[in-house]
């Protein structure tokens, strides 16, 4: 008896550094999914071509894209956290020092130049990282 084993390509992940699909040639994509194929090596495909190649049903495609987005969101959060943790820690120390203040604490703290500086720095870092996550 002969058995047919279809080896599906491995999806390595999403990248926004490649915006052209290697399968259909579509350009101006938000990004592509990098896949590893047994015969053609690495390919970068748009989501439509990915689902065709993987023989996904529309339900599976939705699920796949949703999980990819969730993954990207988690990566982004982790990256922001890693980049801002030391600043957040400094802000936390300042917040604790001001703990006795009334409800306008945040406003008050933002009025303190060193606190505002930290706040602005974090906002800046976040915006910079957000730029790298278009999915
Ligand atoms: Zn395509």
Give per-residue pLDDT as tens, 11-66.
888 888 899 999 999 999 988 999 988 888 899 999 999 999 889 998 998 898 88
Instruction: Supply the pLDDT for residue 3.
Output: 56
What separation in Å is there between the alpha carbon of 73 and the centre of ligand 1?
24
What separation in Å is there between the alpha carbon of 131 and the centre of ligand 1?
24
Could you give the percent of the chain with pLDDT greater than 70? 90
Give one DSSP letter per residue of 6-30, joined into a string: --PPEEEEEESS--S-TTT---S-S
What separation in Å is there between the alpha carbon of 33 and the centre of ligand 1?
10
Which residues are CB-contacts of 42 (< 8 A; sequence separation ≥ 6)?
12, 34, 35, 36
pTM: 0.69
């Amino acid at each position: 008896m002969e058995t047919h084993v279809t080896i599906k390509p491995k999806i390595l992940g999403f990248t926004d550094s490649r915006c052209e699909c290697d399968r259909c040639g579509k350009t101006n994509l938000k990004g592509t999914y990098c896949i590893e194929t047994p015969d053609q090596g690495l390919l970068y495909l748009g989501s439509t071509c990915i689902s065709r190649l993987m023989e996904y049903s529309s339900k599976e495609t939705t699920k796949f894209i949703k999980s990819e987005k969730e993954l990207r969101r988690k990566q982004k959060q982790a990256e922001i956290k890693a980049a801002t943790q030391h600043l957040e820690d400094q802000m936390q120390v300042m917040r604790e020092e001001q703990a006795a203040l009334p409800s306008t604490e945040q406003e008050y703290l933002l009025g303190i130049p060193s606190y505002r500086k930290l706040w602005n720095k974090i906002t800046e870092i976040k915006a910079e990282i957000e730029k790298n996550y278009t999915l």
